[in-house]
Structure 1
Amino acid sequence: MFGFLQHVHPVFLALLATLFTWAMTAAGAGLVFMHREINQRLLDGLLGFAAGVMIAASFWSLLAPGIEMAEALGHTPWLTAAVGFMAGGVFMRLIDRILPHLHPGLAMSQREGIKTSWQRSTLLVLAITLHNIPEGLAVGVAFGAVAADLPSASIGGAMALAIGIGLQNFPEGTAVSMPLRREGLSRRKSFFLGQASGLVEPIAGVLGALFVLKMQPILPYALCFAAGAMIFVVVEELIPESQRNTKHIDLVTMATLSGFATMMILDVALG
């Protein structure tokens, strides 16, 4: 289906794919031009959907191919997967401890990372930016893996991952721009800061693709690393944020299952 893309450089494909995921973040942030508020029930459901997409992508698009590649390269598959996965989680934990950020809906006293005098709006943007680092990295590594010419890596699978990440970026853009608007920022500035949180994805995507192209023997570790980083974001941030209102837990649970199923279908159908 995607044979014509086989001749396009994987780094360029990674750039195009992550520009798409950034555009979806911008589209979500663009809702601020139409509404000052968004229904909290709807936003919680969208965040739950995003969590499901990321969980499914972590396995179907990253862990499973990484394990297959490890076996093809003569590694010990379970060890490679465990080391890479945990390394991704530890990496995100370190960034979480260092990078100043504040999750939407929380007071300034609950900000995380090193102490700083940065404004609340900046900290809110950095919280979503933190989400987007592993997402861009995952897409870049997936496209870089195609160049390794291993059976478990395909253009279709990498595109499925990019589409899934793009879908779940929409509510993340909204989750930044709407709180900023409520705090008195203009629509234009709220949108600008909301979409800016996704700009890290093209950067991380290109770096991820370049890295695995230069160091193909560690490709299985890189895929599992990206999976661990994404699961960290889901468990540490997306799920708690989506379930902060206990009245919406059932809705969020079903939305998470729907997100998982959507990503699974995309990966199986395209990959």
Structure 2
Amino acid sequence: MNYEDILKINPVLLAFLGTLFTWGVTALGASLVFFFKNINRRFFNLMLGFAAGVMIAASFWSLLAPSIEMTEERGGIGWIPAVVGFLAGGAFLFVLDKILPHLHLGEKTENAEGIKTSWHRSVLLVLAITLHNIPEGLAIGVAFGVLAQDPSIGVLTSAIALTIGIGIQNFPEGAAVSVPLRREGFSRWKAFKYGQLSGMVEPVAGVLGALLVLYATPILPYALAFAAGAMIFVVVEELIPESQNGNETDYSSVGVMIGFAIMMFLDVSLG
């Protein structure tokens, strides 16, 4: 199947297939729990930093830059949708972070954030990672949704590059969930189940993102920036702070650089 054949496929279906891929990579990463019970802290920080680097690069190259270019091509002021959408995306994640009950790895159950509940610790841990995956799914959905307005090979390859980049960073993210759960006493199978479950939200968010821009094309530049803002909020609120735990923080910085460089290469070379 060549690019022309892919362009004939409904953008919503493409978004669904793309996020199924990223979910599958999350599950693949989570499967490492069947081979390892612990993750070296250096490697763990490196993985978290890598995920942060990918998301930072994707936020600009795949989302904010296209938002600005699209607005200017329509004769508008490029920075307005970029700034408004970006801040709205961050605000959305801020509210979700305050409402959705969740617990970060290594924290005591009583330190759970969001609305107080009696939910089990395992559910709260998975919901913490699920917060990471919502903006990722939205980003992929919106990127493929652009095809409804501009069915070009450039837009398609850019969306594919974003999907590949997020998929790559989902592999260590899956392991970063399942292996610590195993260390906390979960069985290998249960740790794997919860690890891959965290990525299940991506196909849902991807389809919603694609449908949103498919039926509301005027908001497309805002939607792109919204996804970028949501992703950056996750990076600043969750990934970078978690990667700075322990005495091996240099590895998280190296991970950020590598992740950013790989995502930038994918987007520029493919998109």
What whole-Å deviation, never above 9, does each CA across 1:214-265 have from its counterpart, x for those lacking one? 00000000000000000000000000111111x2121211110110000000
Deviations along 1:65-105, whole A, 9 cap, x unmatched? 01111112233211111100000000000000000001111
Q: How many angstroms apart in 2 are the aligned matches of 1:268 and 1:124?
A: 35
TM-score by length of 1: 0.96
Residue 150 of structure 1: how far off its partner (Å): 7.4
Corresponding residue of 1:269: 269
Map of 1:2-151 to 2, 5 A cutoff? 2-149=3-150
Of the structure 1 ranges 97-106 and 70-79, higher mean CA displacement relative to structure 2 is found in 70-79
Q: How much does 1:110 deviate?
A: 2.1
For 1:252, give the aligned amino acid. S
Task: Please tell me whether residue 255 in structure 1 is matched to residue 238 in structure 2.
Answer: no
CA contact (8 A) 1:142 1:153 kept: no
Change (3 A) 1:153 1:224: farther
Tell me the distance in 2 between the aligned counterparts of 1:53 and 1:66: 19
Secondary structure at the counterpart of residue 122 of structure 1: helix
User: Is residue 2:208 matched to residue 1:207?
Assistant: yes
| Structure 2 match to 1:194 | 195
CA change 1:3–1:152 in 2 (3 A) is: closer
Deviations 1:153-188 (A, max 9, x none): 610000000001011111211121112212222111
Q: Structure 1 residue 2: deviation in Å?
A: 2.6
Which residue pairs with 1:224 in the alignment? Answer: 225
Amino acid in structure 1 at the alignment position of 2:87: M
Specify the alignment match of 1:160 in structure 2.
161
* 2:7 and 2:152 in contact (8 A); partners too: no
- Matching residue's letter, 2:170: N
User: What is the root-mean-square deviation of aligned Cα atoms in Å?
Assistant: 1.4
Displacement of 1:269 after TM fit? 0.7
Task: Report how far residue 109 of structure 1 moved.
Answer: 2.8
Distance 1:233 1:152, change over 3 A: farther
CA distance in 1, matches of 2:182, 2:152: 47
Counterpart code for 2:258: S
Q: Is the 8 A contact 1:68 1:152 kept in 2?
A: no
Q: Which amino acid aligns with 1:136?
A: G
Q: 1:94-141 CA distances to partner (integer Å, 9 max, x unpaired)?
A: 000000001111122321100011111111100000100000000000
Cα separation, 2, equivalents of 1:95 and 1:269: 35
Helix, strand or coil at the partner of 2:248: helix
Unpaired runs of 5+ in structure 1? none
Contact 2:31 2:175 in 1 (8 A): yes
Deviates more, 1:149-158 or 1:188-197: 149-158
User: Displacement of 1:38 after TM fit?
Assistant: 1.4
CA contact (8 A) 1:65 1:153 kept: no
C-alpha separation in 1, matches of 2:258 and 2:185: 34
User: Given residue 69 of structure 1, which amino acid in structure 2 is its aligned partner?
Assistant: M
- Which SS does the other structure have where 1:212 is aligned? helix
Residue identity opposite 2:262 in structure 1? T
Shift in alpha-carbon separation, 1:151–1:66, aligned structure 2, 3 A? farther
1:86 & 1:68 partners in 2: Cα distance? 18
Q: CA deviation at 1:3?
A: 3.0
Identity %: 64
Cα separation, 2, equivalents of 1:173 and 1:151: 33
Structure 2: which 5+ residue stretches go unaligned? none
Question: What is the DSSP-based 3-state SS (H/G/I as helix, E as strand, rest coil) of the residue aligned with 1:154?
Answer: helix
**Equivalent residue pairs, number:** 270
